[in-house]
Amino acid sequence: MLRTVILAAARSSRVERLVATAPFTRDVVRRFVAGEGTDDALRATRELVADGLAVTLDNLGEDVVTAEQATATRDEYLSLLGALHTAGLTPAAEVSVKLSALGQMIDEKLAYDNARAICQAADAAGTTVTLDMEDHTTTDSTLDILAKLRKDHPGTGAVLQAYLRRTESDCRELAYAGSRVRLCKGAYREPESVAYQADRDVDRSYVRCLNVLMSGDGYPMLATHDPRLIAIGEDRARWFDRGPDRFEFQMLYGIRPEEQARLSAEGYTVRTYVPYGDDWYGYLMRRLAERPANLAFFGRALASK
């Protein structure tokens, strides 16, 4: 119930204004977001890479409504990739991209052209791009754009969301050699017609999808903080003899950092998803919805003012 309310608030510009102007918000945002500028992104990346972690960077923003905004997002990624390369942080760091921030709602071709420019810059920087997955109305369009991008940029990664009923079948389609697939539970509010609603059903779907990916020929990226699913991932890695170059764990910046360090120390490849930028509202609200206990941060930050 609380999750539904928070996800509804994530779509409300009125609540956004309230949250953005609240005096305690900055402290809360800082826990989950590396900072606002490219320098902040580079600093966080440097620290994580020094600790033995790989990184994927997300320039925060989604649902842009003008072609100019989409072009500005593209340009931010181009300059980020150049900066990562110059700083010697590629290939340890790659980028994650939301097609809605590249104009998918305006014109699919515009989003594709922008994404292609980012893939070209990633190739030049010696690294890769992963397309984030947004709500279910965009899944087909995102997978179509992925297929086109992979023709020239086969390293482009996809994200599949275990809460969608279609995902086990999408995993089968994408479990081919060279195919990088990030498997996550899914972070949006989705109707029952397309998505499992109960946590246990989402978890079961995650395990079925994980089995398909780990037994397939592609490169699985297991994006979860869930201890049970991580243990199942470790088990399947042993079973299918997948070493650190044949799959990876992924987690979000600021969430279970001690578990990220533990897995890395055990010899697994672990990639931290690092968001940065000033358009943090939707991202923050999804993190709060996943774990309403995080609302306590708001409470504590408020109490300390």
Q: What is the set of active-site residues?
A: 132, 182
Q: Is 185 annotated as a binding residue?
A: yes
> Closest approach of Cβ 250 to ligand FAD, in Å?
4
- Candidates 101, 37, 48; CA nearest to 276 is 37
Question: Per-residue string for binding with ligand FAD, 57-86, x by CB under 6 A?
Answer: ------------------------------
Closer to ligand FAD by Cβ: residue 82 or 194: 194
Q: Is 85 annotated as a binding residue?
A: no
Of the candidate residues 224, 260, 264, 269, the single one contacting ligand FAD (CB under 6 A): 224
Of the candidate residues 62, 76, 94, 132, the single one contacting ligand FAD (CB under 6 A): 132
Q: Three-class SS string for the chain? A: CHHHHHHHHCCCHHHHHHHHHCCCHHHHHHHHCCCCCHHHHHHHHHHHHHCCCEEEEEECCCCCCCHHHHHHHHHHHHHHHHHHHHCCCCCCEEEEECHHHHCCCCCHHHHHHHHHHHHHHHHHHCCCEEECCCCHHHHHHHHHHHHHHHHHCCCCEEEEECCECCHHHHHHHHCCCCCEEEEECCCCCCCCCCECCCHHHHHHHHHHHHHHHHHCCCEEEEECCCHHHHHHHHHHHHHCCCCCCCCEEEEECCCCHHHHHHHHHCCCCEEEEEEECCCCHHHHHHHHHHCHHHHHHHHHHHHCC
- Candidates 16, 25, 20, 40; CA nearest to 276 is 40
Q: Is 172 annotated as a binding residue?
A: no
Region of 15-23, 116-124, 170-178, 245-253 interacting with ligand FAD (CB under 6 A): 245-253
Q: Does 233 bind ligand FAD (CB under 6 A)?
A: no
Q: Does 255 bind ligand FAD (CB under 6 A)?
A: yes
Task: Say which DSSP state 57 is in.
Answer: E
Q: Which residue is nearest to ligand FAD (CB)?
A: 225
> Closest approach of Cβ 256 to ligand FAD, in Å?
6
Q: Is 104 annotated as a binding residue?
A: no
Cβ proximity of 222 and 233 under 8 Å: yes
Q: Which residues, numbered 162-191, are part of the site for ligand FAD (CB under 6 A)? A: 182, 184-188
Q: How many residues bind ligand FAD (CB under 6 A)?
A: 24
Cβ proximity of 295 and 192 under 8 Å: no
Q: Does 273 bind ligand FAD (CB under 6 A)?
A: yes
Closer to ligand FAD by Cβ: residue 153 or 182: 182
Q: Is 180 annotated as a binding residue?
A: no
Q: Is 225 annotated as a binding residue?
A: yes
Place of tokens 């110059």: 86
Closer to ligand FAD by Cβ: residue 14 or 200: 200
> Closest approach of Cβ 117 to ligand FAD, in Å?
20
Q: Does 159 bind ligand FAD (CB under 6 A)?
A: yes
Of the candidate residues 25, 45, 179, 250, the single one contacting ligand FAD (CB under 6 A): 250
Q: Does 38 bind ligand FAD (CB under 6 A)?
A: no
> Tokens standing for 104?
């998918």
Q: Interface residues with ligand FAD (CB under 6 A)?
A: 132-133, 159, 161, 182, 184-188, 223-226, 250-252, 255-256, 273, 287, 290-291, 294
Output the known binding site: 98, 133, 161, 185-187, 224-225, 286-287
Output the known binding site for FAD: 133, 161, 185-187, 224-225
